[in-house]
Structure 1
Amino acid sequence: MDVSVFQPPVTARKSYGKTGVLIVNLGTPDSPSVPDVRKYLREFLMDARVIDIPAVPRSVLVNGIIAPFRAPKSAKIYKQLWTETGSPLKYYGQVVERELQLALGDEYLVRLAMRYQSPSINAGLEEFQKLGLTDIIVVPFFPQYASASTGSVYEKVMDIVKNWQVIPSIRFINRFLEHPKFIEGFAQIGRKYMAAYDYDHFLFSYHGLPERQIRKGDVTKSVCQFGECCGSLQPLNQHCYRAQCFETTRLLVKALNIPEGKYTTCFQSRLGSDPWIKPYTDDIIKELPGKGIKSVLAFSPAFVADCLETTIEVGVEYKELFEQAGGQHWQLVESLNDSPIWIETLVDLVKTV
């Protein structure tokens, strides 16, 4: 009698329980009070992937200078941002958690986490552990990969599970800027404004990073030149945050049929005196009216939920800057927030990772 050992095909892998889906955004203070903002700033800025300098000078800088002096100012800005439902970033995260759970069904368990503050990554992973889930998908809410955002989420997750007796299968979403539904989501909102007004120019503003962090990510030590190297996304620069941002702009420009010469890619939110990736958004804005540009439609495609950097920085502060320079009409394109197409995007990401 011929007896053989059954070898199941790779595709026959069976799950004996739900798949845990941890959706992770950056974070937000628990309230706009000065103590809560200071607590948030300390946790955020003490991350070695955010301020990538040695621990001792980082601690002196954050705890001795930034947190004490920046917290009162930031608290005032957060009060402008706060709504009846609290922080928009957390509110939309909670809505997305519910909607994604409904869309994925009972085979999945979706939990929202923040890289900093609450709900924490640790709490979400501990819930999965207690339920015996050994298949986990982590979805950082950052369209473009950066060490300070997606990389920090990876590190935090791995730091937590490394001490578990049973380490689960964990799959990470690295980036999703190329996903057609992500692009179409922003394009849909943009078209709404473009149908109502004939804009002179289109601004695509992304969160900035220090140039040194971009250089660290260049494994070739020769590709990154902060210039033409970002003209296309290729194998050697595909992990470069700046190059990914320019690629995001190209995809959105194509989806919106924006002519060459009518749009600009730039970077906001720089901190400190070290050089950050350019061009700087505030510098670009000051120059636009002098070039005859009186109306601007502004996109923030590094953010999937409205937050301080979109609603206040781009929507309010940059609007004032544009008008002071002689501009007349400034409009922010809001983020994907809890839109149906964003839920569809997440469903695709979870089911194809």
Structure 2
Amino acid sequence: MDSLKAEMAISQDKTNTYKGLKTGVLIINLGTPDSPETPDVRKYLREFLMDGRVLDIPFLSRWILVNLIIAPFRAPKSAKIYKELWEERGSPLKFYGEDVEKMLQNSLGEDYEVKLAMRYQSPSMDSALEEFKNAGYQKIIVVPFFPQYASASTGSVYEKTMDIVKKWQVIPEIKFINNYYNHPKFIEHFAAAARKYMAEHNFDYFLFSYHGLPERQMTKGDCTGKTCQFGSCCDTIHSMNQYCYRAQCFETTRLLVRELGLKEGTYSTSFQSRLGRDPWIKPYTDVVIEELAAQGKKSVLAFSPAFVADCLETTIEVGVEYKELFESKGGKHWQLVESLNNSPIWVELLEDLVRKA
């Protein structure tokens, strides 16, 4: 009897020990230059565009294009735009991430350790994962800050994570969050933010603009080799297109349209930020804007649901440049719906993803 009690006590001690082990939570956004100065912007562009999942062309061609053409000539122009975006706390993409890191840590409690990292530049994924390794955490949960899956974003985070941990002698359990474009709280945020503007103004059109990707990246990800046709293939989500970025974007739009009760013919989905001469997924946002103005649309509420933090592509490209384009073609009112940034509902969404993982 005494021996049985002793064994039970030892078992309980082990259970208490295991309960004390933490889970590392790595939240990762794309990245941002360390400053809006040209050298830092050039450094960021080089790291970003040398990623073979971002610019998926042969290494030598990529090296020449990035280091001899894009980085030298584009960096000064991009630096000027970053200076428009920069705030007292720095880059919004970074300081919103720092806010969320603290808020999520507070929500999850002491059984978790939350670290913010950037896929490119600082804080680095290497340093964050090194801390987790040295702490001996029993599990690591990786949460890319990309609602829709794409090889160039989420896939790149996966690859970088595995490149780092494959060198470890002991590799703990690792869970990856793949997407959350259809999470109820994700839809709830954008719908609530939109309703605020809809209560103040009568919009005659709603535009859902997502970051674009080359069409070749969609076809490369088509496991069937025949599903991706850049048309009605994205009308529904099914087993053959569940990882298709374009299909997930269109599904995000459908969910928001349903939540907001928008009428058919008053909204559309488009893609922005194309680069180079190769075809990117269509329709292109700037072309759609010109068409809307030509149709006599005067007031547009614009969404950027591919981003969880306002950044160059939302605040400047959609909020400023597309506004100027719309007004130059005869439009009167253009309003951008803000991203999740550091909102409580964003933290609730992340907590839900982490606890379920």
TM over 0.5: yes
Task: State how far apart, in whole Å, the 1-side matches of 2:252 and 2:125 are.
Answer: 28
Pair 1:182 & 2:186 matched: yes
Residue 290 of structure 1, CA deviation: 1.5
**Alpha-carbon distance in 2 for matches of 1:325, 1:79:** 27
The counterpart of 1:24, out of the listed 20, 28, 49, is: 28
Task: Select which of 68, 75, 79 maps to 1:75.
Answer: 79
Q: Which residue of 1 aligns with 2:43?
A: 39
Mapping of 1:230-249 within 5 angstroms? 230-249=234-253
Q: Deviations over 1:163-197 (max 9, x none)?
A: 10001110000000111001101111111001110
**Contact 1:143 / 1:176 at 8 angstroms: preserved in 2?**
yes
Matched to 2:331, the amino acid is G
Q: State the distance in 2 between where 1:152 and 1:339 align.
A: 26
SS at structure 2 position matched to 1:196: coil
**Partner residue of 1:219?**
223
Residue identity over aligned pairs, in percent, reads 71
**Deviation digits for residues 94-127 of structure 1, max 9, x if unmatched?**
0000000000000100000000000001111001
Kindly provide the CA deviation profile for residues 11-54 of structure 1, in whole angstroms up to 9, marking residues without a partner as x.
x9x55511000000000000000000000000000000000011
Structure 1 CA distance, aligned partners of 2:168 and 2:302? Answer: 45
User: Which residue, out of 193, 199, 204, partners 2:197?
Assistant: 193
Provide the C-alpha distance between the structure 2 equivalents of 1:188 and 1:336, rounded to a whole number of angstroms.
11
Match of 1:173 among 173, 177, 188: 177
SS at match of 2:154: helix
Cross-structure match for 1:265 = 269
What are the within-5 Å matches in structure 2 for residues 94-173 of structure 1? 94-173=98-177
Alpha-carbon shift at residue 289 of structure 1 (Å):
1.5
Partner of 2:330: 326
Question: Residue 5 of structure 2 corresponds to which residue in structure 1?
Answer: none
Rounded Cα–Cα distance in structure 2 between residues aligned with 1:292 and 1:230: 28
- Report the secondary structure of 1:77's partner residue: helix
Q: Secondary structure at the match of 2:351?
A: helix
Local SS of the residue matching 1:94: helix
* TM-superposed deviation, 1:291: 1.0
Farther off after superposition, 288-297 or 146-155: 288-297
Q: Do residues 252 (structure 1) and 231 (structure 2) align?
A: no
Q: Assess if the C-alpha contact under 8 Å between 1:134 and 1:167 holds in 2.
A: no
Aligned to 1:311: 315
Match of 2:6 in 1: none
Matched residue type, 1:109? E
For the residues of structure 2 that align with 1:309 and 1:29, how far apart are their CA atoms?
14
The residue number in structure 2 matching 1:285 is 289
Q: Secondary structure of 2:153's partner?
A: helix
Deviations 1:119-139 (A, max 9, x none): 001111001011111300000
Q: Is the 8 Å Cα contact of residues 20 and 111 (structure 2) preserved in structure 1?
A: no
Match of 1:3 in 2: none
Aligned residues: 343
Q: Secondary structure at the match of 1:242?
A: helix
Preserved CA contact (<8 Å) 1:298 1:333: yes
- Amino acid in the other structure paired with 2:280: W
Deviation sequence 1:251-310 (CA, Å, 0-9, x none): 011111111110010000000000000000000001112212100000000000000000
Q: TM-score, normalised by structure 2?
A: 0.95
Moved over 4 A (4+): none
Any conservation in 1 of the 2:207–2:300 contact (CA below 8 Å)?
A: yes
Root-mean-square deviation (Å)? 1.2
CA distance in 2, matches of 1:60, 1:134: 43
Q: Which residue of 2 aligns with 1:341?
A: 345
3-state SS of the aligned residue for 2:67? helix
The range that moved more, 296-305 or 285-294, is 285-294
Give, as a single letter, the amino acid of the residue that structure 2 aligns with 1:278: K
User: 2:191, 2:115 → 1: CA distance?
Assistant: 28
Give the aligned partner of residue 48 of structure 1.
52
Q: For 2:138 and 2:79, how far apart are their aligned partners in 1?
A: 40
Uncovered stretches (5+) of structure 1, i.e. residues with no partner: 1-7
Summarize deviations over 1:40-84 as a string: whole Å, max 9, x none: 000000000000011000000000000000000000000000000
Aligned mates of 1:267, 1:15 — CA distance in 2? 46
